[in-house]
């Protein structure tokens, strides 16, 4: 059940250039949290009315906290980054459908790019099968050590070559001749499109987590749609990223 | 003490209270049902429905602006048959009135939806002649006096329920259009729909909305909405449903003082899913503060 | 490195940079001279001037709204003779262009002010056919295609300086009015003036403004202003001065991308008296970030 | 010279029900401060754009602080009251013309009502002549002890009779058969009008401090006007409360 509440911020600090970690305390949210789901954060400043959707990076039900990792991109995330510990924040969530963890009993390939990396951490923690993780960054990787705790292998790519493979994750994936039964991925659209094609070519099932600008976050306003089609169906329709997604199966998403 | 009465009457239909949802912001109520008790709403006004399914506009469909937002959904909807099959039974499970917002690209299409719904168990029809997000029809009906009267008169022939006409604020003279709709047979008026606006991403040098322009809603537009409600209330006798940036009970009272019989809550839902019932409670608080026993004492009681 | 050029040309007059003040928000610059170096402004657009002194409307003349404000000053001014005596000599002490906003209740009055100013040392005339705060004339010229063309044509006969026509956003079709002004001989267009709005004190049950309605300005209206600048820029060839809620250099860039040649800063001055030069610096920062050497590269460079 | 700056709040707390004291630290403001002048406080929250004009209650140039006393009336003053010590606040000032302290060398009568009381404190401190102070409140008086430090006599009236004379200050003034050479007053319009009439009847010069809704605060926008006329002149004009006032001489102000 979705919650509309005020949660206390216990941590909010920079963990990599422009990347922040926010930990919020809420029993309800920690109980309802699920990998791939997200929360709406509200700025409540009179100027920025719309929520900022941020994925759940980690859940600790025992400590009753959610860990969120976000990039400072525009005015809203800038404001988020200036919020202080012990402040309360208006949160709506968990929202969306999340990944199908049950599909991950075989060999899993998890592919993340940039700010698409954080939502995959809780997933990797919960996946039963063997899991190889591919993480791509422009520069300044983050969360890599966290993934190493739970994954079988973690492969790293940076565009500037500062750490790991110089280039993108797709190249790395091909270099490794990676094999597997199930793919989970989150990241920028071009990356997801490439992952989707690679998965199709290798006949591997895949789940992709998309992003879109949102308003309600719960499926009522229809602003956050993406083009989707039932498998093999040419007659596409606009589906709601916030409610039907953010996680879609490989064949559902129609790329432009 | 007697509980104050919040009952209002629109086109012969009695609503438990003046709180409605603004079309397109509340779906058919299902999603918000997780947060608010739909039984407490005066009416649920559903997302615009057309005779056949409409896909709507490409994304991005939303842009944030200072104290407001732009949307360019473009009336995506599954068509009237789907709506009848899925949403009416759901909403009839609650003790609230059902108002169906209807859309069309031609007068014939509007009439077709109205006729189809006339046989169904819905309480009122809201004729949207003001959506800025569809190219044909839609807004051109709402910005031309004669077209507004004509489309109202035609649709009125096909509907059995009271007919609300929803007006566009993007006009030189809102009173002229309001009178035209009343002349055409409108039983009530809804105002305002969104103001046409635009936002640009200066880094990408591109409009934020794929559709370039969209409809501005939220508290930013409230002063324009209050003014239009006030002007129209001076000029017509039918009830007015006021909307545009209502965020609090105080905002709702402001619209009623200006002359609205009921109010609709739109963008506020996106910031707070319990906005509708919070606003209802705000009105109740105002009434108890000023010992107002019947909400009708507020309506149009502005002193000039 | 060469300093980037911010020079813009309006009606044959070259401005050092695109930053102007919005009429009525900056007086004649004297008061703001305590905070900003007036030499750094592209132009000072002064408060509306009429042929004889106007008293203006009763107070309260201002109401705060969400992200905006309403004003109902009603063009209080000491008349053109006082203006010429006091303000022109003051402004000529600075290296900035002088643009005089003129007001009238009849076409004859507009022409009289224009004629009187044609002999004076001012750089341009801005014809305000869009003030919502005067009952006669004013706004009715700005909301009617034929009247807009007519008053422009008449005033043009009497003025020797380039003529800017300032448009009202309270119209169904801004492009039609813009074209009419250009047909009448406008050398440039200013848009937008304020949107007509209203605010109510729910505790006193009275309008906040003594004049009941007023003009909405500030960031709340920016999306409407950007949209209108964009639409008009597609339709006319004369330069556009964009305004409506510009608070930052980024906002100014947004207007220029939409098609404005210059921008005017209004309500922002009230929140921060150094807004004009802060905005100028914001534009310079944007230009250096994107290595833009000439501001003309920004203007109208939106990619659709 | 007016300043546009950020000042640090050193104190902000309730001193009477709904009445707050805010002390702000600023060398520049403390040097330029003057009795009867005011400052604009900005909320900078994206929703409330207009400044809140608040009078200078006391100036301490040595400690470089200004003392402001304000009532929580609406949304803006509510927000002010929630500002924390050590926070910075955007201030513009000192604004307006202030009282003519030089006229106060004889016997002064100072009359304040409600939130019109605070701006008179620094005045009374600076007046050279003997000074009798009349303070009127609805209930819950404040600052009375402060005035006692500097005034020859302080007379108190409350509408509910909880302290001092039960009734208004005008009655008290008449009861005392108060005499004097100069009147200074600040308070609600009906009180000022009555003071003005009493002063005229007794042929005493008077200065009155007015209030009006403002935008620029510096005389540029003409929203804050009041009806004013040169002495004896029927041909009134609108004068700016922010710049030509807030202090006007008795004969200038035209009452409705
Ligand atoms: C389901 C989902 C999960 C997300 N999870 C994360 C995460 O875990 N970590 C992270 O760093 N980012 C995440 N994002 C992206 C994040 O929401 C945006 O970066 C953020 O909203 C930008 O806000 P802003 O105010 O800084 O930018 P601005 O550009 O100032 O925002 C203006 C408006 O556009 C919206 N917007 C701008 N960029 C995006 C975007 N990329 N996606 C959606 N809305 C956007 C904002 O929400 C706001 O409404 C997620 C997005 C979605 C849809
Ligand atoms: C020169 C001057 C000096 C003042 N000095 C003091 C003082 O020392 N202490 C004090 O408590 N109050 C003082 N006031 C009044 C104070 O400015 C208002 O009470 C305050 O602005 C109300 O703001 P709000 O947001 O709480 O009210 P809201 O009603 O929410 O404000 C809405 C708008 O109206 C304006 N407004 C509302 N009431 C007034 C008013 N009475 N006067 C001017 N603007 C108003 C606000 O500034 C704001 O722009 C002074 C006013 C003026 C003009
Ligand atoms: C996302 C969105 C979708 C909308 N869709 C419709 C619609 O389908 N039909 C309609 O008549 N109005 C539609 N509107 C307009 C609202 O019903 C309402 O008139 C407007 O938003 C002003 O109210 P608000 O400021 O409270 O949102 C929509 C508004 C939004 C924000
Ligand atoms: C207090 C005030 C007075 C104004 N007076 C005039 C005027 O005399 N003539 C005019 O053409 N516009 C006048 N305007 C409109 C502004 O010039 C400008 O068009 C409008 O405020 C939108 O810009 P902004 O949002 O930056 O303020 C006035 C605006 C305000 C707020
Ligand atoms: S954000 Fe409203 S439907 Fe997705
Ligand atoms: S507030 Fe602008 S002139 Fe007084």
pLDDT computed for residue B131 by the predictor: 64
Boundary-marking domain end, from D95, D120, D146: D95
Nearest Cα residue to atom 3 of ligand 6: D219
Per-residue pLDDT tens over the stretch A137-148: 999 999 999 999
pLDDT computed for residue A10 by the predictor: 97
Is the Cβ–Cβ distance between C138 and C131 less than 8 Å? yes
Boundary-marking domain end, from A95, A130, A148: A95
Could D45 and A47 be called an inter-chain contact, meaning their C-beta atoms sit closer than 8 Å? yes
pLDDT higher than 60, residue D188: yes
Expressed in angstroms and rounded, the spacing between residue D90 Cα and the centre of ligand 2 is 16
Could B56 and A238 be called an inter-chain contact, meaning their C-beta atoms sit closer than 8 Å? yes
Q: Does residue B131 carry a catalytic annotation? A: yes
Residue B252 lies in a domain: yes
User: How many CB pairs below 8 Å do chains B and C form together?
Assistant: 135
Q: B220 to chain D: nearest residue by CA?
A: D47
Cα D19 to Cα D22, D70, D78, D81, D141: the distances in Å are 10, 6, 10, 9, 10
CA atoms C253, C254, C257, C261: torsion sign: negative
Q: Are residues D193 and D220 in the same domain?
A: no
- Confidence category of residue A251, pLDDT binned at 50, 70, 90: confident
Q: Phi and psi of C11, rounded to 5°?
A: 55, 30
pLDDT higher than 60, residue D232: no
Q: Are residues D103 and D89 in the same domain?
A: no
Expressed in angstroms and rounded, the spacing between residue A217 Cα and the centre of ligand 5 is 5
Is the Cβ–Cβ distance between A12 and A85 less than 8 Å? yes
Residue B126 lies in a domain: yes
pLDDT computed for residue A232 by the predictor: 57
Q: Are residues D226 and D247 in the same domain?
A: yes
Q: Are residues D186 and D238 in the same domain?
A: no
Q: Are residues A66 and A49 in the same domain?
A: yes
- Confidence category of residue D178, pLDDT binned at 50, 70, 90: confident
pLDDT computed for residue B133 by the predictor: 56
Residue of C173, C227, C286 lying closest to B197 (CB–CB):
C227
Is the Cβ–Cβ distance between B206 and B60 less than 8 Å? no
Closest CA–CA distance from residue A223 to any residue of chain B (Å): 5
Question: H helices within D128-177, ranges in order?
Answer: 144-150, 169-175
Atom of ligand 5 nearest to the CA of A215: 1
pLDDT computed for residue D237 by the predictor: 86
Answer whether 0.95 is exceeded by the pTM: yes
pLDDT computed for residue B130 by the predictor: 80
Per the structure, the count of domains in chain D is 3
Residue C116 lies in a domain: yes
CA D186-D190-D191 angle, to 5 degrees, is 40
Ligand 1: does its nearest atom lie under 6 Å from the Cβ of A246?
Answer: yes
Residues 265-284 of chain C whose Cβ lies under 8 A from any Cβ of chain B: none
**CATH classification at residue B220:** 3.20.20.70
Is the Cβ–Cβ distance between D9 and D59 less than 8 Å? no
pLDDT computed for residue A256 by the predictor: 77
Residue C139 lies in a domain: yes
- Beta strand spans in chain C (E): 8-10, 13-15, 19-21, 43-49, 62-65, 68-71, 97-102, 124-128, 163-166, 188-191, 195-198, 200-201, 206-207, 213-217, 240-242, 262-265
Per-residue pLDDT tens over the stretch C49-72: 999 999 999 999 999 999 999 999
pLDDT computed for residue C47 by the predictor: 94
Residues 198-227 of chain C whose Cβ lies under 8 A from any Cβ of chain D: 218-219
Q: Which of A215, A228, A237 to mutate to test the pocket of ligand 5 (most atoms within 8 A of CB)?
A: A215
Closest CA–CA distance from residue D252 to any residue of chain B (Å): 28
Q: A242 to chain B: nearest residue by CA?
A: B31
**Chain B environment of A1 (Cβ under 8 Å):** 34
Q: How does pLDDT run along chain B (304 residues), one tens digit per residue? A: 578 999 999 999 999 999 999 999 999 999 999 999 999 999 999 999 999 999 999 999 999 999 999 999 999 999 999 999 999 999 999 999 999 999 998 899 999 999 999 999 999 999 999 865 555 555 678 899 999 999 999 999 999 999 999 999 999 999 999 999 999 999 999 999 999 999 999 999 999 999 999 999 999 999 999 999 999 999 999 999 999 999 999 999 999 999 999 999 999 999 999 999 999 999 999 999 999 999 999 998 999 8
Q: Which position has the token pair 């309800």?
A: A28
pLDDT computed for residue C130 by the predictor: 80
Could B31 and A220 be called an inter-chain contact, meaning their C-beta atoms sit closer than 8 Å? yes
Atom of ligand 1 nearest to the CA of B201: 29
pLDDT higher than 90, residue A11: yes
**CATH classification at residue D150:** 3.40.50.80
CA dihedral B109, B113, B116, B122 (to 10 degrees): -170
Nearest Cα residue to atom 15 of ligand 4: C193
Is the Cβ–Cβ distance between C269 and C26 less than 8 Å? yes
The domain of A64 spans 3-95
The domain of C266 spans 8-298
Boundary-marking domain end, from D38, D72, D95: D95
pLDDT computed for residue B136 by the predictor: 57
pLDDT computed for residue B304 by the predictor: 85
* Reported ipTM: 0.96
Catalytic-labelled residue, pool B22, B36, B131, B171:
B131
C142 vs C248 pLDDT, higher one: C248
Residue C2 lies in a domain: no
- Residues counted in chain D: 256
Q: Are residues A124 and A71 in the same domain?
A: no
pLDDT higher than 60, residue C20: yes
Residue C304 lies in a domain: no
Share of chain A above pLDDT 90, in %: 89
pLDDT computed for residue C191 by the predictor: 97
pLDDT computed for residue B271 by the predictor: 96
pLDDT computed for residue C40 by the predictor: 97
Q: What is the DSSP string of chain B?
A: -PPPB--EEETTEEESSSEEEPTTSSTTSTTGGGTS-GGGSSEEEEEEE-SS-B--PPSP-EEEETTEEEE-----B--HHHHHHHHHHHHHTSSSEEEEEE--SSHHHHHHHHHHHHTSS-SEEEEE---TT-TTTTHHHHT-HHHHHHHHHHHHHH-SS-EEEEPPS-SS-HHHHHHHHHHTT-SEEEE--PEEEE-EETTTTEESSTTSEEEEESGGGHHHHHHHHHHHHHH--S-EEE-SS--SHHHHHHHHHHT-SEEEE-THHHH-TTHHHHHHHHHHHHHHHTT-SBGGGTTT----
Ligand 6: does its nearest atom lie under 6 Å from the Cβ of D226?
Answer: no
pLDDT computed for residue A237 by the predictor: 86
pLDDT computed for residue D233 by the predictor: 60
Q: Are residues D189 and D221 in the same domain?
A: no
Q: Would you say B291 is a known binding-site residue?
A: no
Q: Are residues A119 and A186 in the same domain?
A: yes
Per the structure, the count of domains in chain B is 1
pLDDT computed for residue B3 by the predictor: 84
Q: Which of D42, D97, D242 to mutate to test the pocket of ligand 6 (most atoms within 8 A of CB)?
A: D242
pLDDT computed for residue B1 by the predictor: 56
pLDDT higher than 80, residue A122: yes
pLDDT computed for residue A255 by the predictor: 86
Q: Which ligand is nearest to the CA of A69?
A: 1
Residue B257 lies in a domain: yes
Q: Are residues D86 and D111 in the same domain?
A: no
pLDDT computed for residue C223 by the predictor: 98
Give the least confident one: A161-170, B32-41, D201-210: A161-170
Q: Are residues A108 and A86 in the same domain?
A: no
Expressed in angstroms and rounded, the spacing between residue A243 Cα and the centre of ligand 5 is 7
pLDDT computed for residue B135 by the predictor: 55
Q: In the numeric block, which tokens belong to residue D226? A: 């009041």
pLDDT computed for residue B141 by the predictor: 86
List the beta bridge partners of residue A174. Answer: none
Ligand 1: does its nearest atom lie under 6 Å from the Cβ of A74?
Answer: yes
Q: Which ligand is nearest to the CA of C25?
A: 4
B114 vs D234 pLDDT, higher one: B114
List the beta bridge partners of residue B125. Answer: B100, B163
**CATH classification at residue A53:** 2.40.30.10
User: Which segments of C are annotated as binding site for FMN?
Assistant: 23, 47-48, 101, 128, 166, 192, 218, 244-245, 266-267
Q: Are residues A241 and A193 in the same domain?
A: no
Residue C3 lies in a domain: no
Q: Are residues A8 and A77 in the same domain?
A: yes
Q: Which ligand is nearest to the CA of B69?
A: 3
| Chain A contact for B31 (CB, 8 A cutoff) | yes
């Amino acid at each position: 059940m979705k919650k509309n509440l005020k949660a206390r911020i216990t941590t909010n600090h920079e963990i990599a250039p422009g990347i922040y970690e926010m930990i919020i305390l809420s029993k309800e949210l920690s109980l309802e949290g699920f990998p791939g789901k997200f929360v709406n954060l509200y700025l409540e400043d009179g100027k920025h009315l719309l929520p900022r959707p941020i994925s759940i990076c980690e859940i600790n039900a025992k400590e009753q906290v959610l860990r969120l990792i976000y990039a400072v991109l525009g005015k809203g995330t800038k404001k988020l980054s200036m919020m202080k510990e012990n402040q309360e924040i208006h949160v709506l969530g968990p929202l969306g459908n999340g990944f199908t963890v049950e599909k991950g009993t075989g060999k899993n390939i998890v592919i993340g790019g940039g700010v698409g990396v954080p939502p995959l951490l809780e997933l990797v923690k919960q996946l039963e099968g063997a899991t190889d993780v591919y993480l791509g960054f422009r520069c300044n990787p983050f969360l890599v050590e966290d993934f190493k705790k739970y994954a079988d292998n973690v492969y790293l790519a940076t565009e500037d070559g500062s750490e790991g493979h110089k280039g993108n994750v797709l190249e790395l994936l091909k270099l490794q001749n990676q094999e597997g039964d199930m793919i989970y991925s989150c990241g920028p659209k071009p990356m997801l499109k490439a992952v989707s094609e690679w998965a199709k070519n290798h006949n591997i099932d895949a789940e992709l987590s998309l992003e879109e600008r949102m308003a309600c976050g719960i499926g009522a306003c229809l602003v956050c749609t993406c083009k989707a089609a039932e498998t093999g169906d040419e007659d596409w329709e606009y589906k709601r990223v916030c409610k039907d997604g953010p996680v879609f199966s490989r064949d559902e998403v129609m790329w432009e | 003490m007697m509980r104050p009465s919040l009952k209002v009457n629109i086109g012969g239909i009695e609503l438990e209270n003046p709180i409605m949802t603004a079309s397109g912001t509340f779906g058919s109520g299902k999603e918000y049902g997780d947060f608010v008790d739909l039984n407490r709403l005066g009416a649920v006004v559903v997302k615009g429905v057309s005779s056949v399914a409409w896909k709507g506009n490409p994304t991005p469909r939303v842009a944030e602006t200072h104290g407001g937002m732009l949307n360019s959904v473009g009336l995506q909807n599954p068509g009237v048959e789907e709506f009848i099959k899925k949403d009416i039974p759901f909403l009839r499970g609650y003790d609230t009135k059902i108002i169906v917002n209807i859309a069309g690209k031609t007068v014939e299409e509007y009439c077709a939806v109205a006729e189809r719904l006339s046989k169904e168990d819905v309480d009122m029809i809201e004729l949207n002649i003001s959506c800025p997000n569809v190219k044909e029809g839609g807004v051109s009906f709402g910005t031309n006096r004669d077209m507004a009267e004509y489309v109202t008169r035609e649709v009125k022939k096909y509907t059995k329920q009271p007919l609300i006409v929803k007006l566009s604020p993007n006009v030189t003279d809102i009173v002229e259009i309001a009178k035209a709709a009343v002349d055409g047979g409108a039983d009530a008026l809804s105002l305002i729909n969104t103001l046409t606006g635009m936002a640009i991403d200066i880094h990408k040098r591109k409009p934020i909305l794929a559709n370039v322009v969209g409809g501005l809603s939220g508290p930013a537009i409230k002063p324009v909405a209050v003014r239009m409600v006030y002007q129209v209330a001076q000029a017509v006798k039918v009830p007015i449903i006021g909307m545009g940036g209502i965020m609090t009970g105080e905002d709702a009272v402001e619209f009623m003082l200006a002359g609205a019989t009921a109010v609709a809550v739109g963008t506020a839902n996106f910031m707070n899913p319990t906005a509708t019932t919070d606003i209802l409670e705000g009105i109740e608080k105002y009434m108890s503060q000023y010992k107002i026993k019947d909400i009708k004492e507020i309506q149009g009681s502005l002193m000039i």
